[in-house]
Chains A and B, each alone.
Chain A
Amino acid sequence: MSAEGMSAAAPLIAARDLVLDFHVKSAFGAAHGLRALDDVSLDVRPGEIVGLVGESGSGKTTLGKAILGAHRPGAGRILYRGTDIAALDGAGRRPFRREMQMVFQDPLSSFNPRFTIASSLALPLRLHRICPEDAIPATVAALLQRVGLRPEHAARYPHELSGGQLQRIAIARAISVTPSLIVADEAVSKLDVSVRAQVLNLLNRMNRETGVSLIFITHDLGVARFLCHRIAVMYFGRIVEIGPTAEIFANPRHPYTRSLLDARHGGSGHVATDADETALSIVDPARACNYAARCARRAPECLTARPRLDFDAAGHAAACFAPLPPASGESVT
């Protein structure tokens, strides 16, 4: 059991030692493996909002999709209330489908353009037998109202609605089957500033009212700070730091987290260059810190061993041999 498991509430989701490889084919046919998830463990407790942050390609979407069952991990377990669902096939997974829903970045492409909003919202209600057939129109109207839209929106087609309205409907669809977990993948990234606040407030309210857990995937730390109880920072397929949101912001331990936070506060004028791993003498990349190439605090052992996530009493962990000193006194907010 990981240190995370020591907390009082039993986790809703416990991902353990997930490994996931993609087989990438180059233009000339040479295939090579890409390790999208490299020994990742993550707990999500009931009612908790966990943020996955990191740059594109860091594995945050892959982790979300693996938990939902859209990707099958090569190794590791995903425990849903104690049942390992990673190993289940399609039929075995079916009872868990209703429990886990997803909201995507682009709302327009997550609706069938030929269905009215009413039809799109009715589908999961029917599929999971949420309410009797004759109660569906009223349920749809109630769902729309809950996300701040009017019942007449039900007759519209997706292209007739704005991105913000559609994203609210995508959230309505996700909560309609009373799931215990929603994975929201960059759900507000494409929205305009004024609409983003509406959708963030809605997600926050849904979490409070229904107790649904959220895995909130974003590259925007400001958004993560508003919404998430805990934040996991990912870098190249690994979680490099995880902890309560306030801790991560006030007291980042991993140099990568620190650089992400610094980037938010703008214009230091310091320009980092792209990684040049060939210049480092890493004998075995599987036994080196994957951030070593870009790290200003690199120590000799970073090139020969893998730092582990060791949790402190506050549930804060950084996978780093040379972590930043706690509470350095420098304010990052």
Chain B
Amino acid sequence: MSAAAPLLEVSNLCATFAGAGREVRAVRGASFTIEVGQTLGLIGESGSGKTVTGLAILRLLPAHASVSADRIAYRGENLAAMSDDEFRRLRGVELGMIFQDPAGSFNPAKRIGWHLREAIRRRGGEVERWEAEAGDMLREVGIRMPQRVLGAYPHQLSGGMLQRALIAMVFLLRPALIIADEPTTNLDNLVERQILALIRAHQAKVGAAILFVTHDLGIAGALCDRIAVMYAGEIVEIGPAAAVLERPLHPYAQGLLATSRSLERADAELHELPGEPGGVPPEQGCAFAPRCIHVMAACRERHPAMTEVEPGHGARCLLHER
């Protein structure tokens, strides 16, 4: 590994779904890098393309999706040039994924123990000692009676327990990069905080990098080093987490933050962002223009380019283009 190469480099990633008579461009030219041990938060509302971005990197999109990119490189090696067989050797072991719905990640006919044993085998670990290692890992993710969980089938565990078991399975694979897609959205507040703490503790211990997909600004602020804000398939703002949350550049990010701040303050009237997310982005101009309070005539004609406003912090907005 060369010192200069980031762990993951994504440049101009596009993902398009061909549907009945029309195309849906779910991801439109996303570019970002993740350094070793770093956490990048990908935040956005439903339909913004954040989940599809993660799935596209892992080649997990269905066949009717077409993915293109100028470059997807892992440790400097071009993933796009790899055959499916070669890529499969990387996925899971080097590139792990935690999904929102843990049940879908388990074989319902096999016990949790079987899954954890498979993870250790897949990694090339000592299969003879699997039970001890899996038990230790379950204890690490806050499961007090690992023996009971190892012997349980997925449907016998609660959502929170199953999410912990999934996280234990992914941790056992020791991936260098974990793509976590809203891993706590279906969980209660308390369990959510516990699981975020687990992810952080594990990251500090083994130095894994994380692409953390979420719609929750609070979580992104607590967990991430850098934040990318997605809107209508594009990254409209990217930068260090503190800078994005304290000095958002894009009117969309500013609106989201104003809303969550007014909720935190319990204002008498919450700050509203006009309009609705989703919908088909306009053919030309800025996708956020229809909802933007700073919209100018040029916004409906010219597509804004990503412009760096301060070091490492940029936005796609004509307000910031010079």
Contacts and interface: CB of A to CB of B under 8 A. Distances in A.
User: Do chains A and B interact in one complex?
Assistant: yes
Interface of A: 55-56, 162-165, 192-198, 200-201, 204, 219-223, 225-226, 259-260, 263-264, 266-274, 276
Contact of B196 (A221, A267, A272): A267
Contacts of A55: 188-191
Contact of B190 (A192, A222, A259): A259
Interface stretch (B30-38, B53-61, B114-122, B271-279): B271-279
Contacts of B264: 222
B231 to A, nearest CB: 10
Nearest to B44: A192
B277 A263 contact: no
Interface in B148-189: 159-161, 188-189
Contact of B200 (A195, A196, A267, A276): A267
Max count, chain A CB within 10 A of own CB: residue among B45, B198, B217: B45
Contact of A274 (B144, B159, B259, B262): B144
B46 interface: yes
Contacts of A273: 142-144
B270 A226 contact: yes
Interface string B251-278: 0000110011011101101111101111
Contacts of B280: none
A219 B201 contact: no
Given A162-B278, A272-B194, A197 B271 contact: yes
Max count, chain A CB within 10 A of own CB: residue among B159, B255, B259, B271: B259
B197 A269 contact: yes
Contact of A197 (B188, B193, B222, B270): B270
A198 B272 contact: yes
Given A221-B189, A259-B190, A194 B277 contact: yes
Contacts of A272: 142, 190, 194
B316 interface: no
B194 A269 contact: no
Nearest to B186: A56
B188 to A, nearest CB: 4
B216 to A, nearest CB: 8
Max count, chain B CB within 10 A of own CB: residue among A56, A165, A271: A271
B145 to A, nearest CB: 7
Interface of B: 45-46, 142-145, 159-161, 188-194, 196-198, 200-201, 215, 217-219, 222, 255-256, 259-260, 262-264, 266-267, 269-273, 275-279
A226 B261 CA distance: 12
Contacts of A222: 263-264, 266
A192 B277 contact: yes
Contacts of B161: 274
B190 A260 contact: yes
A163 B45 CA distance: 12
Given A164-B276, A274-B143, A276-B144, A194 B190 contact: no
A313 B145 CA distance: 44
B286 to A, nearest CB: 16
Nearest to A249: B266
A268 B145 CA distance: 24
A164 B46 CA distance: 12
Nearest to A189: B185
Contacts of A219: 188-189
A198 B270 CA distance: 8
A276 B148 CA distance: 12
| Interface of B, helix, strand, loop or mixed by DSSP | helix
B270 A201 contact: yes
Contact of A276 (B145, B190, B266, B278): B145
B256 A194 contact: yes
A145 B27 CA distance: 35
Contacts of B145: 276
Contacts of A165: 276
Contacts of B217: 193
Contacts of B197: 267-271
A268 B215 CA distance: 21
Max count, chain A CB within 10 A of own CB: residue among B201, B215, B267, B277: B277
A271 B140 CA distance: 10
Given A260-B190, A276-B145, 13 more contacts: A55-B191, A163-B46, A192-B46, A193-B260, A196-B259, A222-B264, A225-B266, A226-B270, A264-B189, A267-B193, A268-B193, A268-B197, A271-B201
A267 B193 CA distance: 7
5 contacts: A55-B188, A165-B276, A193-B217, A194-B255, A194-B277
Contacts of B271: 197
B189 A193 contact: no
A260 B266 CA distance: 17
The 4 closest A-B pairs by CB, nearest first: A194-B273, A55-B188, A192-B45, A197-B270
Nearest to B216: A193
A223 B255 contact: no
A55 B192 CA distance: 11
Contacts of A276: 144-145
B263 A226 contact: yes
Contacts of B143: 273-274
Contact of A271 (B194, B266, B270): B194
Nearest to B143: A274
A198 B272 CA distance: 6
B191 to A, nearest CB: 8
A263 B189 contact: yes
A225 B193 CA distance: 19
A194 B198 contact: no
B279 to A, nearest CB: 8
Given A194-B45, A222-B263, A201 B269 contact: yes
A195 B144 contact: no
A266 B197 CA distance: 9
